[in-house]
Structure 1
């Protein structure tokens, strides 16, 4: 069978193991990384001026912007490595399709779904919306992953200073924070190496957590709280420059980290939010990813200030052996879905069962759940290694937070490679910038915002060109 022509990318992927020419691996575009690579001559002391991000000083917005404001929280599930669309979210059946995928018809005949591969997820299809007209900008892992999380080209003019989407959400949520909101606004679970807070203060950087059943390992001092308080007060006497701002943004960032940590240590019951029982571990699939979703559930249910929770699940880069059955530590679509499916199914069940902050609403009603990756995978017959390579066509999956479930937005041709109906008012491919605009709009954040406090003096757009109407939310979902 002839393989269809793929959407063209201007950036090719030489290999999966090798990164491209962009310094995106590892720590990503943190502020420290920015100072190492940008070559602009900007020094860290500049950032001492950016000390009041709660006030969007001099920010501008586009006129007559309608925001959905349907969600209070976002759970952002990032499937790094990129799963195959035509085997999951946009099922295309052919001679390649394993029989135990058990394709089943749902939504009155409008949806074919691999019920055998994702049985728990299938139980929640009436709450989920599939956006199939998505298209990534680049088929390179590091570049595509950063692009999806900062809503712009990492190699572009403002890519080097851009904060993660979650950092923007954290910043914007500051004006509504209460005294009881002791959690960081942006918490990242099992998400090492993601973009950070860019040029914004470190207060809005992701609070990184690797899930363990006992919670945060250093939340209590081994010598007791009294001894810790004594040493804390002594530190402040010795190190006054850290809090004054006299030594620039780096010291202010460090002070913010200290203050956040102290608040977590002092608040009762915090460690329980990052802990899970053996029964919960089993219910969510007995995996680190499942543990991440248990904690994500706990954090949004606690209502203590965490507004954006990212859970990253690596291992979807199946260039070979994509249908290999589980055995001898094989990594295949089967093994990945065996971890994803029970975890996501349990999360959806729990969010629907837990009460929201408003009478009559559930936690799912108040939490927008987004599943995405950096791009998709090739369609049709498998490659000569029985796998699928990189492809720009992709699907994003949405649930909760005002999203009307049971929808399919966008229709692809029988190969799954080309769009025959975009399915939305934009009448074009849906890009990462549109996805970000949708998240912001659902949370009541003006996606057309342009801040005028960036170190490049260009004006920092939350979503580039959104103010001009180039990118916008996918309103048809709501």
Structure 2
């Protein structure tokens, strides 16, 4: 991911200096010939489907029994302290800690039977729910937004995939989180904001060049590069050399584009709307996600939290430094409920929801039985996720868990099917090949995996 720093030094995530970056870029070839690339693009789906995605990743993992899969008839140590409430959809019941969700339940649908069989580690769930595959054998599969960027490119000067506020940090497993382009190469990594949009002095670091460089100097450097490139025989220019320039071009677009600056400028929003989203990091990230989608970004990933260690999250083990179930109600749920409801209402008001899939994912669920510390621990055997817009029919419940919320009993759904659902909404052919390591083709999702058809 490109980060330009204010000390006259710019580095990419693999340590390339500004001089190297401006001279050559930081990208290696991705391994497809031009005919292969054109064939992949042709298989990627109809250009008439120009949907977008906002992926909200609930890092830490909400408790299914205490949010979207209440169990009012279970014993107290299983059902938890919260009561179920009626919603706008007769099919959906959620708990009282999400009242604004309840008022919008006719716009989203819940899958209550998600599961995976990998270790109960945050990192593995992060990988699988954003890429469709578990990191193994050194093969790092790209994030769904990076695959979309590779197949369809950018619409405008803005990047095709943006992560807000920044990529996931340490969550205990020391494994890839699935928030980069993996084997597609760094040219298809997302643009990471690396700033908190709720701060009064919020600015996007990468939108302007360092003062020591200046836009005029940067423009001159670009023109010099173009002259050199034009002097090279087109037939002798390798595909790799052409691709190596893409990082420079992407950075130049951002640093010189009024459209990009406008899209990231939250001061353009009315104060009352910013208040409606919530003047906190997650709330303002959701508002910024809407602005970016409206401005032409194809895919925005919003991390509700960045780590499970330095802040209170959905990771409700109970004992310090984590919070309890009650702490989730008092600290996490109000912020989350407010921002999500504001986002959905805003997308509806602007006519954007039908063309924008909003998916709320998590790495696993929580143990059915409350632990002695008053919390719940990691549980990948069953949990809930939900989807709105992008062709999804609202007000539905897909799948069912057992009476304790511990295991699926109807329509078990694995991470590959969740990611396939995102691709399906985008109109992508699930068998579209991506250029994997050593030229090995990788379909978007594994053979035999399909979208959650009941949502559409």
How many angstroms apart in 1 are the aligned matches of 2:151 and 2:352? 21
1:227 CA displacement: 3.9
Structure 2 match to 1:363? 352
1:460 aligns with 2:456: no
SS at match of 1:130: strand
Please give the per-residue CA displacement for 1:349-389, whole angstroms capped at 9, x wherever unaligned.
Answer: 100000xxxxxxx2001101100111111113x11221111
Structure 2 match to 1:189? 164
1:299 aligns with 2:288: no
1:241 CA displacement: 12
Distance 1:448 1:346, change over 3 A: same
Structure 1 match to 2:421? 438
Give the counterpart of 2:219 among 218, 226, 229.
229
Distance 1:258 1:128, change over 3 A: same
Q: For residues 42-441 of structure 1, what are the structure 2 equivalents within 5 Å?
A: 47=29, 49-50=31-32, 55-57=37-39, 72-93=51-72, 94-96=75-77, 101-106=82-87, 109-115=90-96, 117-138=97-118, 139-156=120-137, 160-174=139-153, 181-193=156-168, 194=177, 195-210=179-194, 211-212=196-197, 214-221=202-209, 222=211, 225-234=215-224, 255-277=245-267, 279-302=272-295, 304=296, 306-314=297-305, 315-320=313-318, 322-323=323-324, 332-354=328-350, 362-380=351-369, 382-392=370-380, 393-422=382-411, 429-441=412-424
Distance 1:162 1:341, change over 3 A: same
1:237 CA displacement: 7.1
SS at match of 2:204: coil
How many angstroms apart in 2 are the aligned matches of 1:204 and 1:404? 31
Gaps of 5+ in 2: 1-11, 16-25, 169-176, 306-312
TM-score normalised by length of structure 2: 0.77
1:346 CA displacement: 0.5
How many angstroms apart in 1 are the aligned matches of 2:115 and 2:335? 26
How many angstroms apart in 1 are the aligned matches of 2:333 and 2:35? 40
Structure 2 match to 1:476? 454
SS at match of 1:76: strand
How many angstroms apart in 2 are the aligned matches of 1:68 and 1:433? 24
1:173 CA displacement: 1.8
1:31 CA displacement: 10
Is the 1:47–1:199 contact (alpha carbons within 8 Å) kept by the matching residues of 2?
Answer: no
How many angstroms apart in 2 are the aligned matches of 1:148 and 1:256? 28
Is the 1:149–1:164 contact (alpha carbons within 8 Å) kept by the matching residues of 2?
Answer: yes
How many angstroms apart in 2 are the aligned matches of 1:183 and 1:109? 41
How many angstroms apart in 2 are the aligned matches of 1:434 and 1:285? 32
**What is the total number of aligned residue pairs between the two structures?**
401
Is the 1:45–1:247 contact (alpha carbons within 8 Å) kept by the matching residues of 2?
Answer: no
Is the 2:142–2:182 contact (alpha carbons within 8 Å) kept by the matching residues of 1?
Answer: yes
TM-score normalised by length of structure 1: 0.74
1:289 CA displacement: 1.1
Is the 2:278–2:338 contact (alpha carbons within 8 Å) kept by the matching residues of 1?
Answer: yes
How many angstroms apart in 2 are the aligned matches of 1:54 and 1:271? 35
SS at match of 1:75: strand
How many angstroms apart in 2 are the aligned matches of 1:54 and 1:216? 37
Gaps of 5+ in 1: 1-29, 34-43, 327-331, 355-361, 423-428
Is the 2:325–2:375 contact (alpha carbons within 8 Å) kept by the matching residues of 1?
Answer: no
1:190 CA displacement: 2.1
142-151 or 66-75: which moved more? 66-75
How many angstroms apart in 2 are the aligned matches of 1:364 and 1:405? 11
How many angstroms apart in 2 are the aligned matches of 1:351 and 1:439? 18
Aligned-residue Cα RMSD (Å) equals 3.6
How many angstroms apart in 2 are the aligned matches of 1:241 and 1:297? 43
1:246 CA displacement: 8.2
Please give the per-residue CA displacement for 1:95-136, whole angstroms capped at 9, x wherever unaligned.
Answer: 25565x442123665432113x11222211110100111112
